[in-house]
Structure 1
């Protein structure tokens, strides 16, 4: 795991783009960006994700090839980049606990998404950029598995809410206030 800048993320994405596209096309789709929280503590980084973002906004990569298949999103890993926030240890749908997503993490993940989407030439929408919770419920219209997210059994609900003014509470049917909505909106702003 090594710390990187946004410029280094851009460089790795540019080198990885052809392989990501080839892998995604093998499944009849475009590349995806999956957004997670690690369900760990601040400072705790995991190599199941291509990119880890710590509480202070520091960015780390676990690989020099974003096309490498890692174990971040069940049945959705080929042709996809997994990005996680180091946070949410013991979070529940009622309380994000002592390690909620920080303001810096939220801003940095949005900036990283904007950068990656630009390099990959994919739109920042729910068909291409999903939280793990949204992917678990197949909200992109693809059905590689039975739903297991916040609208069904809540097995995975990463970033369903952020604990911020814009996304204050668990509300899987609330349009515009879900974590994914907020993060995509911020990414669009960063792409500006």
Structure 2
């Protein structure tokens, strides 16, 4: 099946996050929770359409009895479209490639609106379906049934590039000074950002703790072969709003869960030191900030 991006809502509260179902879940405030590498297939997001597909999902529409009491928020829709545009760019797509055959809502997929008749129609009743799935049929209560068209148009505008849409390029996180800290009894070079957080080269941290890894430049990710890492899918994951290109550290097993995200500066991967320590089970002491040994590593 050709590569496809599917757009979902979860029928949940805004804060809902669960791994294993979608590649990325977007909270009500627009926070992205990157859960699984986009290169792996997840088995259960879009019936008979999970192969060679990426599933992006907004946590919303979980109101009872009225789903619209928890509607998609504008920050969610913006983050959804930006992430879809970023994936499309990474796959070498252009604006003209953002068609219903390549980017679909679950409502459209359920109704086979791309012309591929892969299953019975379980989409919206107005499209002849059973009404089981109607994700993004509308973007607001009482709105027109053109949600998919509206989202694709937003993605196309984003793909026109920052040159045409300066507002689509957030200001870059600033780094104030270089410093050094102790890590496992050795000196570790770090950079301090505008918020006071310490960042280090991912390669330095992985090498220091003898964690086997492989860098995949084409996918902007580091694959980890360690079997004793359990991602926490933390809520304060690095977001696109930092303004730098992002990379991810992903487990090289199963459904490739994302351990953490970092930034690319001068083609080198940097990650937050404390986040790295917490995800990889490294003991920490403060005053001064110091990395100790890895628990169980």
Moved more, 46-55 or 34-43: 46-55
Larger Rg: 2
**SS at the partner of 2:5?**
strand
Pick aligned residue for 1:190 from 158, 168, 191: 158
**Structure 1 segment 156-175 matched on structure 2, within 5 A:** 156-163=133-140, 169=142, 171-172=144-145
Aligned equivalents of 1:91, 1:120: Cα separation in 2:
39
Cross-structure match for 2:105: 131
**Does structure 1 retain, via aligned residues, the 8 Å contact 2:42–2:50?**
yes
- How many pairs were matched up? 153
TM-score by length of structure 2 reads 0.49
- RMSD over aligned Cα, in angstroms? 1.7
Structure showing greater relative contact order (alpha-carbon pairs closer than 8 Å, 6 or more residues apart): 1
| Deviations 1:26-78 (CA, angstroms, capped at 9, x unpaired) | x3xx2000000000001101320001011111101221353232311011001
In the TM superposition, residue 98 of structure 1 has moved relative to its aligned partner by 2.1
**Does structure 2 retain, via aligned residues, the 8 Å contact 1:31–1:79?**
yes
Aligned equivalents of 1:149, 1:46: Cα separation in 2:
24
| Deviations 1:89-141 (CA, angstroms, capped at 9, x unpaired) | 0378xx54221000000111111111111212341110110000000000111
Aligned equivalents of 2:51, 2:24: Cα separation in 1:
15
Gaps of 5+ in 2: 161-297
- Richer in strand (by share): 2
**SS at the partner of 1:57?**
coil
Cross-structure match for 1:44: 16
Moved more, 61-70 or 98-107: 61-70
Gaps of 5+ in 1: 1-26, 173-177
**Does structure 1 retain, via aligned residues, the 8 Å contact 2:107–2:123?**
yes
Pick aligned residue for 2:3 from 19, 22, 31: 31
Cross-structure match for 2:266: none
**Does structure 2 retain, via aligned residues, the 8 Å contact 1:50–1:66?**
no
Aligned equivalents of 1:63, 1:70: Cα separation in 2:
12
Pick aligned residue for 1:155 from 111, 122, 132: 132
Aligned equivalents of 1:185, 1:159: Cα separation in 2:
14
**Structure 1 segment 40-189 matched on structure 2, within 5 A:** 40-47=12-19, 48-90=21-63, 96-122=67-93, 123-150=97-124, 151=127, 152-163=129-140, 169=142, 171-172=144-145, 178-189=146-157
TM-score by length of structure 1 reads 0.74
**Does structure 2 retain, via aligned residues, the 8 Å contact 1:39–1:91?**
no
Aligned equivalents of 1:148, 1:58: Cα separation in 2:
30
Aligned equivalents of 1:105, 1:66: Cα separation in 2:
23
- Richer in helix (by share): 1
